[in-house]
A and B are shown apart, each in its own frame.
Chain A
Amino acid sequence: MKKNILLVVIALVACVASVSAQGRKGLCINEVMVHNDSSVIDDYGMRHAWVELYNSTHASMEISSVYLTNDKNNPTLYPVPLGDVNTEIPALQHVLFWADGEPNKGTFHMSFTIKPGETIYIFDADQQTILDQVTIPVDLAPNTTFARKEDGKGGVNAEAWEVRDGGEKYITPSSNNIIVDTNTKVESFRTLDSNGFVLTLMAMSIVFSALLILSICFYFISKVGGLVSRINKIRSHGGDPKTVTAEDAPAHDSGEEIAAIVMALHEHLNAHDQENTILTINKVKKAYSPWSSKIYGLRELPRR
């Protein structure tokens, strides 16, 4: 009983650990603008600094109760309010927070402003775990942004960020930093493998490899299984499995062999009574066979 309870506790701990591991780790800062004179305007028609958050996971994420701040020692500077349906970010999507210091304007208006050289943090609801942070370059020019080269990629590594001036490098509030207009995988196959030979070669190799590995694995499992069942068989007959090799072990007997053995024993023991008939063994060809029967193969469910 104690053993069972221990197993259940271990399973529960494993489940809880896996759930907390998912958390909000995929929430990150994706793009920041400090001086906004010509870029996007808010719902009130005003231009302010903004911070774009990105949900890099493939599931929607509710971000109410996380904290945004530009002061590491004051992690609760701006708590994202509860009760707003817009704080649920769809998978691989963005939300924009205005750094205007006017939180009374709504959920997405933070209680602080930002300046070049400052660091912006996202703290998790526990007020201790930093989910992401970015330090804005001191020389970030007006109407330029500091953005991740690829959405949600690179963590806190400064190499993953770049300055965007709105020219060749787009400024993309509430939108992907990389605008993809074609499926690059499909395009590469279209141009480099127009007849499909390369894909066929690669795919067939993978399919063969996967099934070959499975096949080899079960070859060895069957060998071990066969040996174990032989040993069990010998043990059930009173033999000593340690002294018996695989060759010594009784193999599967065919029906014909069993019939011949029974006949020989019958003759040897002279187990006749008053009959005067002659017993013969005729091989009969029947249309039915267990090999063609569905009940032996497809539907029968084993019971313990």
Chain B
Amino acid sequence: MEQSLSEFMAGNLRTFWEMTGFYNATWEHFVMLAVGMFFLWLAIKKNFEPMLLVPIGFGILIGNIPFASGMEVGIYEEGTVLNILYNGVSAGWYPPLVFLGIGAMTDFTALIANPKLMLVGAAAQFGIFGAYMVALALGFAPDQAGAIAIIGGADGPTAIFLSSKLAPNLMGAIAVSAYSYMALVPVIQPPLMRLFTTKKERLIKMKPARAVSQNEKIIFPIVGLLLTCFVVPTALPLLGMLFFGNLLRECGVTTRLAKTASNALTDIVTILLGMTVGASTQASEFLTIETIGIFFLGFMAFIIASSSGVLFVKLFNLVLPKDKKLNPLIGNAGVSAVPMSARISNNVGLEYDPSNYLLMHAMGPNVAGVIGSAVAAGVLLSFLG
């Protein structure tokens, strides 16, 4: 049958129209686009974790452009560019690379100088398991509950790593929730710190940490790897890279590698990780009742983790000699979120005593929290994976 030129043009234009975002848009897409723009606003205007929220926020915009499926552009379509970049998240190899960078930029001196601060980092991991119990009570399956609860570790790469293994379908919501609450740490933690401490406790001055020799700093990543990974081998991808990065930093003969790991490599992986995690939050996957539950549980996890860190320091002080008491304001730093939660300890401490600098003391539990949350993720993977 002969087709007139006008019919031919109309047919092609109709096909083109059916491929556009306007034709395929649903209200869910606009909700998610608004969420993405809110993240960008938080990052750019409010300066909340811009390094993470800009890639994630823009990723949400990328992931929620409406299109007809089959165009080979979506993040969940096999072999597309976004799908290839997303492999680092779905197969779980971005988080260990981020940990390599974290190791290369973290100074464990505060922790080595005062090893008992590691216990504060361990105590704050109760947030993970407290949230696990709440998640079970809300009806989540144990493996899903474990994946959601890791938000309480306040460690984005760990949350992505574990959720990719235990509950891949919830990973987008878990990652966005984890990073959102990490950005909100300055809002969430200070009220809890004030609630659980007395004015007298907030004024406790801790002794400056002793000097740590270079040899101790070199031994730390080696012994740390061996001890923790012999206990929890499932945490090897995270802890192996963390301690490797730290050895590159501290050994003094691989400065160039340490610089690359802590700067260029971390930046590249952060860009790809943030953008693809954002893009993975397609409306159809993200706008569910479960997501609301995940955000609620993430909030609970942060509250429990921060509180348990502070309360543990108070408890710990009962057995410590008078001159070695810890300021409970460093307890919140056990939730990881390096170095923001340590900065909050410092800022709240300075509010009550302008000469009481807690930053380096809080860095101890802060970096212990990184180790602790990776160990906790390994434990959950061992039990539920």
Contact = CB atoms under 8 A, between A and B. Distances in A.
Partners in one complex: yes
Interface of A: 183, 185-186, 189-190, 193-197, 199-200, 202-204, 206-219, 221-222, 225-226, 228-229, 252, 285, 287, 289, 291-292, 294, 297-304
Given A225-B216, A289-B357, A301-B255, A200 B133 contact: yes
Contacts of A301: 249, 255, 258-259
B231 A298 contact: no
B142 A303 contact: no
Contacts of A214: 115, 118, 223-224, 227-228, 371
B213 A302 contact: no
A229 B125 contact: no
Contact of A200 (B132, B213, B217, B231): B132
Interface in B172-201: none
Given A215-B118, A299-B105, 9 more contacts: A196-B145, A202-B379, A207-B122, A217-B115, A218-B223, A221-B216, A289-B357, A297-B109, A303-B255
A298 B366 CA distance: 12
Contact of A226 (B210, B231, B232): B210
Contacts, number: 162
Given A208-B119, A302-B214, A304-B252, A217 B223 contact: yes
A291 B109 CA distance: 12
B354 A287 contact: yes
A194 B145 CA distance: 11
B107 interface: yes
B119 A200 contact: no
Given A195-B133, A204-B129, A303 B252 contact: yes
A235 to B, nearest CB: 15
Q: Is the interface of A mostly helix, strand, loop or mixed?
A: helix
A225 B110 CA distance: 15
Interface of B: 105-107, 109-113, 115-116, 118-119, 121-123, 125-126, 128-130, 132-133, 135-137, 141-143, 145, 208, 210-217, 219-220, 223-224, 227-228, 231-232, 249-250, 252-253, 255, 258-259, 339, 346, 354-355, 357, 359-360, 363, 368, 371-372, 375-376, 379-380, 383-385
B112 A189 contact: no
Nearest to A187: B142
19 contacts: A195-B136, A204-B125, A206-B231, A207-B375, A211-B118, A214-B228, A214-B371, A215-B119, A218-B111, A218-B115, A218-B118, A225-B212, A225-B215, A228-B213, A291-B359, A292-B357, A297-B107, A298-B106, A304-B252
Contacts of B255: 301-303
Contact of A206 (B141, B232, B252, B346): B232
Given A183-B143, A203-B129, A208-B122, A252 B258 contact: no
A207 B376 contact: yes
B375 A211 contact: yes
A225 B115 contact: no
Given A210-B375, A214-B227, A302 B130 contact: no
